[in-house]
Each structure stands twice: as structure tokens, then as C-alpha cells.
């Protein structure tokens, strides 16, 4: 009886410790911010400060991916926009390259795309130096990595030559649709609708993480270090704390980009159907590479119809 009780508690302990080992890196794209045309500095500052405050509060070693085109106003470098990136760096958060103008690698030539990558580091490379950091990660716009293995390989080689590592995503989602819908409600001053969208957003993201956990389990028979993609927008400024709370309740601790890609899962090869004209989670790419079909993806949570409608 005692032996059974000990075995049971050991078992519970190992389940608990397994839960405690869940790890997630939070990455924020399209810095300094996605504004939907509301370009007052005050608004961009509100978004930036709220995100940073939540990183501090929940000990999230976040990374933000910059589009340098957004540092220009009327063709001139806008120092106020650069100051927003400095807020990230001053507070100890990393930034990475997300190209200058956010092109899709599927729609432009290799030459054009790589030129845009280098144009996208003109300001940020010296800026991170000032904070004794390195510019070392690259995030593909629209998660388009190249639609053939050859296109992808040449990109990876180019990145390595310029001291970049690719930043994959395991938890892809449509936060940008919720963000657009939320902004529409915000502009109307409709607090009630904003709150409804916010609550549905947190629920949707909870379903997403469960779905990609299940995906990782069936592909790797273990939890992987998850990498979440979010954007620097108002809904995340207002709800990242609730998201962080939810992830913590699910047993996650937050880790850096460098730590996350140490997971050997990210060395998995993408091949065959893993390549195509689409921007998807790396988990989906690995699943497609292994010949997984429709049923494998059937539980992927969908964005509610009313959000899609509002975001149109
Ligand atoms: Zn982006």
C-alpha cells in the first residue's frame, strides 16, 4: 500500500516536473509597431511601453523583429521611431532583422530579397552595437522561407554569411486579424466590443497552444521549446499580460530566442510537401514533410467569423 502510494506520488511528481519544463519564446514582429494609420508617437509609445512592462512583469526575454522602413517618415529617418527601438534595447530586450520593407520571398527574386535584408540592418546594426548586443536573428516576412528547397538553402547560406540565424515559429496564429478587429472597435470607442474581442483572443490563443503542443507530441513524442509569433499591435499591448498569465498556468516558463532554437527539433529537415507557397508554422512544415494529410491538421483552431468580418 505504502509502496503504491510512493509510486503514485513519484508519478505525480514527474508529471508536474514535465509540466514545469514547458518552455516558450515570445517573438514580436513588425517593430516598431503596427498602427493601422494611427501614427502619433503617443500611440506607438503606448504599445511599446505596455509590451515592455509585461515582459518585465512576467520575465519574458522577448525579441522584436524590425522593419526599418517604419523608421522613416516622409523619406526621412525619424529619430522618434528609433527611440522606440532604444526602449527595447535599454530594457535588455533583443531585436532582430525582419527585412526593410516586408516583402514576400515567394514574390521577389533572391537578389531583391537579400538586398532588402541588408537594407533592413542599416540603422539597427549600429544601434544594437551601442547596447553591446549583436544583430543575430532573422525572421521571414509572412513566414515565407522560399517555396523550394533550393530557394530556402540559398537564403540560409546568405543569412549565415551575414551572421544571421533563421528564427522559426512553432505557434503561428492570426493575431493580426484579432488586432485589426480590435483596432476597429477601439476607433469606434466601443469598449464592450474591445473587451469581447480581447477575451475571445485569449481563448483562441489558448486553443492554439494546445493544438501545437499536440502537434509537437505526435511529431516528436515530447514537448518542444515553442516559439510564439505575435505582432507589435494594440491588442497585444493590452492583452499580453493575460496571455502570459494563461501560458504560465499551462506550465510554461519563458525563454530567449537563442535558447529556444537549441531544441534539436529545429534541426529537423523540411522537404517535399514542407515547401510550397505558404507561410506556416514549422510544426506544420515538418508534418507536411512527413506526408501528414488533412486529418493531422483538423483540430487547428479557426479565427471566429465575426473577427474575420471586422478585420476585412
Ligand atoms: Zn511581419
pLDDT recorded at residue 10: 52
Please give the Cα distance from 12 to 206 (Å, whole number).
24
- Distance separating alpha carbons of residues 288 and 293, to the nearest angstrom: 7
Q: How far is the CA of 116 from the centre of ligand 1 (A)?
A: 14
CA of 277 to the centre of ligand 1 (A): 16
Answer yes or no: is 6 within a domain: no
Range of the domain at 276: 22-311
Structure confidence at residue 15 (pLDDT): 52
* 53 within a domain of the structure (yes/no): yes
Closest CA to 299 of 191, 209, 166, 225: 209
Which residues lie below 8 Å from residue 271, measured CB to CB, with a gap of 6+? 149, 289
If you measure from the C-alpha of residue 28 to the centroid of ligand 1, how many angstroms do you get, rounded to a whole number?
9
The confidence score (pLDDT) of residue 21 equals 78
List C-alpha distances in Å: 246 to 18, 63, 199, 232, 297. 17, 20, 12, 19, 23
CA of residue 271 to ligand 1 center, whole Å: 24
pLDDT at 290: 96
Is 3 contained in some domain? no
pLDDT of residue 70: 97
Q: Are 33 and 51 in contact (CB under 8 A)?
A: no
Residue 139 lies in a domain: yes
Domain harbouring 102, CATH code: 3.20.20.370
pLDDT at 3: 56
* Number of independent structural domains in the chain: 1
The residues near 242 (Cβ < 8 Å, ≥ 6 apart) are 198, 202
Residue at 4 is within a domain? no
Residue 280 CA to ligand 1 center (angstroms) comes to 13
| pTM confidence score | 0.93
Distance, in Å, from the CA atom of 154 to the CA atom of 36, rounded to the nearest integer, reads 34
Ligand 1 centroid vs 10 CA: distance in angstroms?
45
Q: How far apart are CA 206 and CA 246, in angstroms?
A: 7
Enumerate residues with CB within 5 Å of ligand 1 (an ion). 29-30, 141
Distance from the CA of 30 to the center of ligand 1, in angstroms?
5
Q: How far is the CA of 139 from the centre of ligand 1 (A)?
A: 8
- Mind listing the pLDDT tens digit of every residue in the chain (312 residues)? 555 555 555 555 555 555 557 999 999 999 999 999 999 999 999 999 999 999 999 999 999 999 999 999 989 999 999 999 999 999 999 999 999 999 999 999 999 999 999 999 999 999 999 999 999 999 999 999 999 999 999 999 999 999 999 999 999 999 999 999 999 999 999 999 999 999 999 999 999 999 999 999 999 999 999 999 999 999 999 999 999 999 999 999 999 999 999 999 999 999 999 999 999 999 999 999 999 998 999 999 999 999 999 999
C-alpha 140 to ligand 1 mean position (Å): 7
230 C-alpha to ligand 1 centroid (Å):
9
Q: How far is the CA of 299 from the centre of ligand 1 (A)?
A: 25
R_g (Cα) of the chain, nearest Å? 20
Q: Does some domain include residue 76?
A: yes
Considering the domain boundaries, does residue 182 fall inside one? Answer: yes
SS3 sequence of 65-113? EECHHHHEECCEECHHHHHHHHHHHHCCCEEEECCCCCCCCCCCCHHHH
Does any domain span residue 263?
Answer: yes
Amino acid at each position: 500500500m505504502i509502496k503504491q502510494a510512493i509510486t503514485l506520488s513519484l508519478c505525480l511528481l514527474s508529471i508536474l516536473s514535465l509540466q514545469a519544463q514547458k518552455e516558450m519564446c515570445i517573438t514580436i514582429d513588425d517593430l516598431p509597431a503596427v498602427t493601422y494609420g494611427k501614427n502619433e508617437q503617443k500611440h506607438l509609445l503606448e504599445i511599446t511601453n505596455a509590451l515592455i512592462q509585461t515582459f518585465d512583469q512576467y520575465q519574458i526575454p522577448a525579441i522584436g523583429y524590425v522593419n526599418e522602413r517604419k523608421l522613416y517618415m516622409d523619406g526621412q529617418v525619424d529619430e522618434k521611431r528609433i527611440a522606440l527601438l532604444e526602449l527595447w534595447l535599454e530594457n535588455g530586450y533583443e531585436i532582430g532583422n525582419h527585412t526593410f520593407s516586408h516583402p514576400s520571398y515567394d514574390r521577389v527574386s533572391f537578389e531583391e530579397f537579400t538586398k532588402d535584408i541588408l537594407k533592413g540592418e542599416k540603422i539597427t546594426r549600429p544601434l544594437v552595437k551601442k547596447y553591446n548586443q549583436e544583430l543575430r536573428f532573422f525572421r521571414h516576412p509572412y513566414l515565407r522561407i522560399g517555396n523550394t528547397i533550393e530557394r530556402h538553402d540559398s537564403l540560409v547560406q546568405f543569412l549565415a554569411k551575414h551572421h544571421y540565424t533563421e528564427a522559426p515559429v512553432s505557434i503561428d496564429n492570426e493575431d493580426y486579424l484579432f488586432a485589426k478587429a480590435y483596432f476597429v472597435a477601439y476607433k469606434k470607442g466601443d469598449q464592450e466590443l474591445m473587451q469581447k474581442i480581447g477575451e475571445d483572443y485569449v481563448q483562441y490563443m489558448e486553443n492554439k497552444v494546445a493544438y501545437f503542443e499536440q502537434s509537437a507530441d505526435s511529431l516528436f513524442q515530447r514537448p518542444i521549446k515553442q516559439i510564439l509569433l505575435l505582432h507589435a499591435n494594440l491588442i497585444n499591448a493590452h492583452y499580453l499580460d493575460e496571455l502570459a498569465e494563461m501560458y504560465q498556468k499551462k506550465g510554461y516558463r519563458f525563454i530567449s530566442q537563442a535558447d529556444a532554437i537549441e531544441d534539436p527539433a529545429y534541426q529537423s529537415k523540411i522537404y517535399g510537401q514542407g515547401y510550397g507557397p505558404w507561410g506556416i508554422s514549422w510544426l506544420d512544415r515538418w508534418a507536411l514533410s512527413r506526408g501528414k494529410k488533412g486529418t493531422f491538421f483538423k483540430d487547428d483552431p479557426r479565427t471566429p467569423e465575426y473577427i474575420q468580418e471586422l478585420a476585412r
